[in-house]
Structure 1
Amino acid sequence: MNKTLLKSVREYKKQSVMAPLLVVLEVFMEVLIPLEMAKIIDVGIAQGDMNYIIQRGVILVVMAMLALFFGVQAGNMAAVAGAGYAKNLRHDIFYKIQEFSFHNIDHFSTSGLVTRMTTDITNVQMAYMMSIRLLARAPIMVILSWVMTLLLNKKAALLFLIVVPVLGGTLIFIAKKAHPHFIKVFDEYDVLNNSVQENVNASRVVKAFVREDYEVKKFHGISQYVYNLFTKAEKIVAWNSPVMQFVMYTVVILLVLIGGKSIIGGQMETGELTSIIVYALQIIGALMMVTFVFVMIMIAQASTDRITEVLEEVPEMQDKENAVKTVDNGEIVFNHVNFSYAGEGGNLSLKDINLHIKSGQTIGIIGGTGSAKSTLVQLIPRLYDVTGRQVKVGGVDVRDYDLKVLRDQVSMVLQKNVLFTGTIYDNIRWGDKDASEEEVKRVCRLAQADGFVQEFPDGYNTQIVQGGNNVSGGQKQRLCIARALLKKPKILILDDSTSAVDTKTDALIRKAFREEIPDTTKIIIAQRISSIEDADQIIVLDDGKVMGVGTSEELLKTNDIYREVYESQVKGGGEDE
């Protein structure tokens, strides 16, 4: 475990310390037990002293009970520490993800982040729990058992000085061979999870195109590759057990040989030989525990690296020390802005964008696919940072604002509308968690959503299933618009957010905007001319450049791109009937 991850132990430090301390007490009791057994054999049984046997037997039982008590308590402490540590890690990763910009999230796949918060954390949890218990137990057991063996027979003790380093070297060799395979396995887990996620999210498309067999084949290929990697790693790790067993039996045979000669020569008692063999088994058993934990640590090491990568990722967007806490108005200025998703030196998605949008204006944006319409508006709430020059909101560079304050005042309905599991009330209140029922209904009326919501049997208490699949595309769009309006923003951005509603409903939504929120700056990205025809200004984008700005009448006279779209829709009957 590295320092970054160990910070997440926090309130479970006490249990993390108590577990190994209790293990030490458990081991101490277990190491004393063979000595008592030797005394019972060499004194009590040899001399036929029943009182001595009972006396030592009682002591033996007390030691065994104490060992059991300390062992159970150590197990409880380790379990609490491991589970608590995993809980804190999940919290820390999830909290860190909330700070990520889109650029940071793009660095990790969604499935990769899910794998890190589930499989990887489980691996780390198991390794941590085993480490604080078994790794504390093994070295103490080896040392104390060896000291006891040294007191009983020096030749037997010297044997262990040869065996332990050989076993340790073998374990390290096996670990180094297996570790690269485990790293590959968890990278492929991301691919596997991504395949499942993609298939489930697009299940309607898969079934519509009857591509189930193709998806199954694709999944089987990835799953088979993960199986092959795991098999390679496990085949290497599988050498642990037979090597340990071979060494254990070899040591026992050699001890019997050494002890037998010593007993015949009168230098050792039978009970002492029995104790030495028990100590030998304790030492070998402790080393076998180490191998088990070693395998867990090997698996967890790959997971540790992946979790650390998320925790050490530096959020691209961070608030300045004296960040601006208020947005005065909805004025927007693009000052010769350049933007590339790849950062400096990358291909520019936006080129020399120079715009001035007055507070309260309604702005339409139109352009072909790939003209960077969505990219342009995502710079306003600072979902991405500009590559060159600046974007200003309310006269202040967006990079100088407190991010929460800025995004509270720039309400955005994205192209891909998302509703969350819960009631319609719960979803709308994402805009304002303290909003009253009447406020929720008011914004739904503005978004032309109140009508269809009232038709549901449970009205606003209707449950939205995962992904919002129990409402239509148009209904989903209107609920998302209502959610955005509840924030009472100074800037409202609709990124093609009325594409699934009919032209009459679209017109009613725009009418409500004009009458109810006149002071809010409204930016509407649309493919339909009718959605933006009455805007104060229309921006025409093409290949990341502004090709024209003006009213619909002005652009019809001066802009070929706008005129072509207008004529194809209005004169050619391209508008929805």
Structure 2
Amino acid sequence: MLKLTRYLKPYTLSITAVFILLFIQSLSQLYLPTLMSDIVDIGIVQGDTRYIFKVGVVMLFIAAGGTVATIAASYLSAKSATGFGKILRNKVFTHIESFSLQGFNKIGTASLITRTTNDITQVQQVTMLMLRMVISAPMMIIGGVIMAVSKDAQLSIIILVVIPLLSVAIFVIARKGLPLFKALQVKLDKLNRVLRESLTGIRVIRAFNRSEYESVRFNRANGDLTGTAINVNHIMVSMMPVMMFLFNLTTIAVVWFGSIRINNGSMQVGDLMAFIQYVTQIMFSLIMISVMFVMVPRASASALRINEILNMEADIKDPQCSQGSEGKRGVVQFKDVTFRYPGAEEPVVNDITFTTFPGEVTAVIGGTGSGKSTLINLIPRFFDVESGSVKIDGVDVRDMTQKELRAKIGFIPQEAVLFTGTTAENIRYGKETATDEEVKRAAEIAQATEFISTMKDGFQSLIAQGGINISGGQKQRISIARALVRKPEIYVFDDSFSALDLKTEANLRAALKKEILNSTIIIVAQRVSTVVDADRIIVLDQGRIAGIGCHKDLLEKCKVYREIVVSQLSEEELA
């Protein structure tokens, strides 16, 4: 957790002020019992009303000063801790955004969400508590012991016996709780994962009547989390009874032995009253420390999980200096490209070589698992090649910054992803500065204008989270419009026409051909009708190129392509 304290640097002045204010508060609390002792031993015993009034006024001013210091310290500590949480969330979120797809898969989406929310909240709460306790509790303990010894050294032996006993109890309980707190956060990840899958997959769950199964799965994860939480609480709640037992025992001992010393004339009544208050302050400070020890183990477990993210180095990094490109814009070249996923025995794509040019349509087709989507994911550098190179305009994509590289590409993913907001905002996501005319033009080319115009508010109609209030084909068309509006040099369509009917797809391809004459177009498709008019068709089979050419040539020369065509088209269509 100490590694994270560097993010408190912007609040150095506030934290310093908190420490000063808590120092003032502690001094006021430590001085009040002595003044009360004087009132009893001098004012009440001697019947000096004037002295009682005089010291009482001083006590009121000191108490008021301590109260103001406490309120100010509470405000500043809360402000610092909350700001610390904000900075930490920004750092974690920004760092997560730099992860490759492999980085996301390594930790898991559910765990990343938990770490960015729940774990940071745990650290934030403990930071606020520590800012309050790190000065006041130790000072109250040390100051209380000193003041108690000054009142009666022999009676203070009781305190010196109790403090080690309390310290041992706190240490033992905290030591047992830490491993369980780590397990608790892991099981919270699991619960979040199950809940997330159940909510996002609700249509599939209902379609297959698996609601009961999902309820059992959720209850199992929930019960597992609950069981661990109960075990943690069983350990941690034992701390308070132990503390209160020792506190009450200490108070009885002080009163018992203090009354003996008063009877012997070795101690005054006012001193005993002050002594009891100092013992109370010491014990309550120890109780506060024990509360901190209850929260610190969980926060420590959370801090470890946060640090794990922050310490993860992005496996895809920008070069020290980007290389510019010259000449024709939009040329994509694969040269001897091989790629395998981490831990995989065999490459997904192997020895891939081809070149695409502006003004041309290059289609990639193949059976399921042939490596089509993996291949085009190498263009925007979602993954880095194992060997060979992917070049754009003669420059290796690894020698370009990710921002510069992806500004050249309009990527339409296989699964259309939309964000909460208006239809126009989702299209404008491709180009933030796009005008209304550009948004409408992109929608028109993407064949989206027809259904958008029938929506209640047109382009200002709200899209629900994940686009659940529109169809799959409508989502794909908005996704295509989002790429079109930025007018990039390269368009990459990852099976982006799969949810469109043949008529809409034909109209869309015709509109695209007229609009983006000077851009490079790469299309991944399952349907032969989508690729038949392409200038170049690349046929993949088990991660290797089985053939490259136009539709007519491949029908004659490529067995794999002919099998795909025969499986989709009739003999009349083939002819």
TM-score, normalization by structure 2: 0.97
The Cα of 1:572 is off from its aligned counterpart by 6.8
Q: SS of 2:370's equivalent?
A: coil
Which residue matches 2:107? Answer: 108
CA distance change for structure 1 residues 70 and 325 in 2, over 3 Å: closer, same or farther? farther
Deviation per CA, 1:271-320: give whole Å up to 9, x if none.
10111111011101000000111111111111111111111211111211
2:529 maps to 1:530: yes
Which residue matches 1:338? Answer: 338
Deviation per CA, 1:502-527: give whole Å up to 9, x if none.
11211122112222111211111111
Separation (CA, whole Å) in 2 of partners of 1:346 and 1:295: 46
User: Identity percentage over the alignment?
Assistant: 37
Deviation per CA, 1:370-398: give whole Å up to 9, x if none.
11110000000101111122111111110
CA distance change for structure 1 residues 26 and 316 in 2, over 3 Å: closer, same or farther? same
1:194-343 aligned within 5 A: 194-325=193-324, 329-342=329-342
Separation (CA, whole Å) in 2 of partners of 1:109 and 1:527: 29
Which residue matches 1:47? Answer: 46
1:90-129 aligned within 5 A: 90-129=89-128
Separation (CA, whole Å) in 2 of partners of 1:392 and 1:29: 71
The Cα of 1:355 is off from its aligned counterpart by 1.8
Which residue matches 1:375? Answer: 374
Separation (CA, whole Å) in 2 of partners of 1:427 and 1:272: 74
Which residue matches 1:20? Answer: 19
Separation (CA, whole Å) in 2 of partners of 1:264 and 1:544: 96
The Cα of 1:409 is off from its aligned counterpart by 0.5
Give the count of matched residue pairs. Answer: 573
Which residue matches 1:132? Answer: 131
Q: SS of 1:7's equivalent?
A: helix
Letter in 1 for 2:261: S
Structure 2 stretches lacking a partner, 5+ long: none
Separation (CA, whole Å) in 2 of partners of 1:572 and 1:458: 47
The Cα of 1:457 is off from its aligned counterpart by 2.6
Letter in 1 for 2:425: D
Which residue matches 2:422? Answer: 423
CA contact (8 A) 2:325 2:393 kept: no
Letter in 2 for 1:28: L
CA contact (8 A) 2:491 2:521 kept: yes
Q: SS of 1:488's equivalent?
A: coil
Separation (CA, whole Å) in 2 of partners of 1:261 and 1:454: 93
**Worse-matched range after superposition: 503-512 or 460-469:** 503-512
Separation (CA, whole Å) in 1 of partners of 2:249 and 2:154: 15
CA distance change for structure 1 residues 555 and 99 in 2, over 3 Å: closer, same or farther? same
Separation (CA, whole Å) in 2 of partners of 1:574 and 1:187: 57
2:167 maps to 1:168: yes
Q: SS of 1:156's equivalent?
A: coil
Deviation per CA, 1:220-252: give whole Å up to 9, x if none.
000000011111111111221111112112222
CA contact (8 A) 2:370 2:543 kept: yes
CA distance change for structure 1 residues 272 and 142 in 2, over 3 Å: closer, same or farther? same
The Cα of 1:59 is off from its aligned counterpart by 1.2
Letter in 2 for 1:486: V
Q: SS of 1:154's equivalent?
A: coil
Structure 1 stretches lacking a partner, 5+ long: none
Separation (CA, whole Å) in 2 of partners of 1:231 and 1:294: 18
CA contact (8 A) 1:41 1:270 kept: yes
Separation (CA, whole Å) in 2 of partners of 1:572 and 1:529: 14
Q: SS of 2:553's equivalent?
A: helix
Q: SS of 1:318's equivalent?
A: coil
Letter in 2 for 1:530: S
Deviation per CA, 1:49-102: give whole Å up to 9, x if none.
111111111111112111111111111111111111111111111111222221
Letter in 2 for 1:223: N
Q: SS of 2:522's equivalent?
A: strand
2:398 maps to 1:394: no
Deviation per CA, 1:309-368: give whole Å up to 9, x if none.
11121111121111135575221221111111207x753111111222233321111111
Q: SS of 1:8's equivalent?
A: helix
The Cα of 1:253 is off from its aligned counterpart by 2.2
The Cα of 1:574 is off from its aligned counterpart by 10
The Cα of 1:15 is off from its aligned counterpart by 2.0
RMSD: 1.6
Which residue matches 1:2? Answer: 2
CA contact (8 A) 1:8 1:92 kept: no
Separation (CA, whole Å) in 2 of partners of 1:190 and 1:538: 44
1:337-376 aligned within 5 A: 337-342=337-342, 346-376=345-375
Deviation per CA, 1:127-176: give whole Å up to 9, x if none.
00000002321100001111101111112223322321221122111111
CA contact (8 A) 1:82 1:128 kept: yes
Letter in 1 for 2:438: E
**Worse-matched range after superposition: 415-424 or 325-334:** 325-334
2:445 maps to 1:446: yes
Q: SS of 2:7's equivalent?
A: coil
TM-score, normalization by structure 1: 0.97
Which residue matches 1:153? Answer: 152
Separation (CA, whole Å) in 2 of partners of 1:90 and 1:141: 34
1:555-574 aligned within 5 A: 555-571=554-570
Separation (CA, whole Å) in 1 of partners of 2:107 and 2:434: 35
**Worse-matched range after superposition: 458-467 or 447-456:** 447-456
Q: SS of 1:359's equivalent?
A: coil
CA distance change for structure 1 residues 387 and 574 in 2, over 3 Å: closer, same or farther? farther
Which residue matches 2:192? Answer: 193
CA distance change for structure 1 residues 346 and 8 in 2, over 3 Å: closer, same or farther? farther
Deviation per CA, 1:455-508: give whole Å up to 9, x if none.
223111111111111111111111111111112111101111001111121112
The Cα of 1:573 is off from its aligned counterpart by 9.2
Q: SS of 1:360's equivalent?
A: coil
CA distance change for structure 1 residues 572 and 290 in 2, over 3 Å: closer, same or farther? farther
**Worse-matched range after superposition: 153-162 or 225-234:** 153-162
Separation (CA, whole Å) in 1 of partners of 2:14 and 2:324: 42
**Worse-matched range after superposition: 529-538 or 451-460:** 451-460
Letter in 2 for 1:342: P
Q: SS of 2:410's equivalent?
A: strand
Separation (CA, whole Å) in 1 of partners of 2:104 and 2:2: 23
CA contact (8 A) 1:325 1:405 kept: no
Separation (CA, whole Å) in 2 of partners of 1:480 and 1:563: 31
CA contact (8 A) 1:535 1:551 kept: yes
1:450-489 aligned within 5 A: 450-489=449-488
Separation (CA, whole Å) in 2 of partners of 1:173 and 1:554: 78
The Cα of 1:207 is off from its aligned counterpart by 1.5
Q: SS of 2:569's equivalent?
A: helix
